[in-house]
Structure 1
């Protein structure tokens, strides 16, 4: 014969457990999980970047006055952002797959030099300036292919392979140009890429088109899904039937193609091809991608976030320039922002991993 104690009766159990659930570890874990999902949601990340961009604009107007807020200055910011932005879109795919590329600046330099050699420009004069564009795109893609083959099939670490390409491409650019600046002579090329459509510079339009195509490729195609799958778990992706090595090679070719296009934009903006183009471009591109919310460990990428990250850095640089702050201060500010972004990523990752 057993007698139920009051604490085990249905009525008492419901009331007691209801009181305990308010502060139970399970409830706290559920709350933390919900907060983690909020932090990790694309909408929240994008909103945070938009707020940061607005704050920078307010600071720019407050410190730079009419100079900063003028339409011409906004176009200047967008022109500056366009070249970095094109490379950053390509970098988003590589980082989302768990890779990295330190050679993008050198590839841009080599592409610009090769496309502005006397031989290339002479052939372009005899045919069409599109030959210069094709040369830059081809050289960039070839460098990306070499990176991809070394990483995917040669099994070199991305850091080592692209570091070697950085040295080799920059050195080859110096050899070809003989450390001289090569002037773009074709007026058709300069007029086309240096022009504008409805008041919007062609370079900015190119960046917008690349960003839209990149978003579609990453979010609406099998190619994008495979890229994220490889970044999340390469072995699981392989077992799912994805050719990881071939996909990896494609990603570096895509980034090389973006570098070739960026070289064309450099040539149009400066009317030159030189081995000094693209210096530290890899750092700006990686920083923009990380700030935008793409995980350095791979598995998550966002083109919208990358575009906002590029605009944030371009605006920050413009604010510093208008206030006559030296490049050293700019570098320190960029470093702080990058560290803060990575720490935030780690915090979100730890929250998602916690039960």
Structure 2
């Protein structure tokens, strides 16, 4: 005689408001809220600086030409910062960006290069930037060198080569097609061409970081390189691409600097690495990697450029500017550490 089978208890259906499926969206919403607060804070700082500039030097600071100058000067370092943001997000660093800009600018303004006009100067700038980025990427990704050491070596080498090419002299640009881009007649609805290029680079950078698998791989490598490798990401190749991207941005920035100054000098890009890293950090990009924000980096660039402009209008010495920038960097890192410890 068969024994009756007792019915198995049936688990109640999981409610749609259960905490497990809601955990990831809740964490995502928290990140979005913090990002919004950070962006609003940066906008508040920028607004305060504009107010200070308007109070201390109302006629000079609020003049349309001066505001155009601030945006134009910020465009060069801004393009570099976009590339730096990607590198820092991946957990790396690039100390050679200023030297690469200098090398690209002097190589693109030699007499031999200028014979090819606009196209030759642009092509040389970008090619030199990509070449330096390739060397950095190979040394770091496949050579096993620490990014700090590899890019520091590139900094010294690129500066030395730039000095050798120029022999310490300024190389004047004679191409009218380049010089005309720096004139007011080339402005589009009152916006300088350099600012338009910066805007395009920023939009592309934001889309790549936030809307592509390349951007997600970059964040994953910066968050945990070993976990990213186990997930199937080629970490070495990704790092190579990132330093190529940084070099490309340096090449573009060098071309913009040539337009802005009408010359190529071995001293170009001095302390660009400091400005780019500082702008990215105060914008919200984690120095340890795993999180980056293009919008925050752009706001950081505008903040530093505005500070520099206000100091210049008030005849304050450059050493005071560097002290202020250093203090801002320290404050931003301390805020990042405190934020990370509370999450």
TM-score of the superposed pair, with normalisation by structure 2: 0.89
Alpha carbon RMSD of aligned pairs, Å? 1.6
CA deviation after TM superposition for structure 1 residue 39, in Å: 9.8
CA deviation after TM superposition for structure 1 residue 73, in Å: 1.3
Q: Which residue of 2 aligns with 1:142?
A: 131
1:215–1:186: structure 2 CA closer, same or farther, 3 Å change rule?
A: same
Distance in 1 (CA, whole Å) between partners of 2:31 and 2:242 is 30
Q: Does 1:295 align with 2:300?
A: no
The answer to whether the 8 Å contact 1:39/1:348 transfers is no
Which digits, 9 at most, give the CA deviation of each residue in 1:105-162, with x for residues without a partner? 000010011111111112x1xxx42111001100000000100000000010000000
Q: Does 1:131 align with 2:120?
A: yes
Which digits, 9 at most, give the CA deviation of each residue in 1:140-194, with x for residues without a partner? 0000010000000001000000000000000011111111111111001221354
Q: Does 1:213 align with 2:191?
A: no
Q: Which residue of 2 aligns with 1:335?
A: 326
Query: Which stretches in structure 1 are left out of the alignment for 5+ residues?
Result: 1-32
Distance in 2 (CA, whole Å) between partners of 1:174 and 1:332 is 28
Secondary structure at 2:302 match in 1: helix
Which digits, 9 at most, give the CA deviation of each residue in 1:227-277, with x for residues without a partner? 000000000000111000000000000000000011101111111011110
Q: Does 1:235 align with 2:226?
A: yes
Higher CA-based Rg: 1
Q: Which residue of 2 aligns with 1:156?
A: 145
Q: Which residue of 1 aligns with 2:176?
A: 187
The answer to whether the 8 Å contact 1:38/1:44 transfers is no
Bigger shift: 230-239 or 113-122?
113-122
Which digits, 9 at most, give the CA deviation of each residue in 1:308-334, with x for residues without a partner? 000000111111111111101111111
The answer to whether the 8 Å contact 1:40/1:348 transfers is no
Distance in 1 (CA, whole Å) between partners of 2:33 and 2:327 is 21
Query: Which stretches in structure 2 are left out of the alignment for 5+ residues?
Result: 1-25
Secondary structure at 1:338 match in 2: helix
Q: Which residue of 2 aligns with 1:49?
A: 42
Q: Which residue of 2 aligns with 1:351?
A: 342
TM-score of the superposed pair, with normalisation by structure 1: 0.86
Q: Which residue of 2 aligns with 1:29?
A: none
Distance in 1 (CA, whole Å) between partners of 2:31 and 2:292 is 17
Distance in 1 (CA, whole Å) between partners of 2:111 and 2:167 is 12
Distance in 1 (CA, whole Å) between partners of 2:212 and 2:118 is 33
Corresponding pairs, count: 315
The answer to whether the 8 Å contact 1:39/1:45 transfers is no
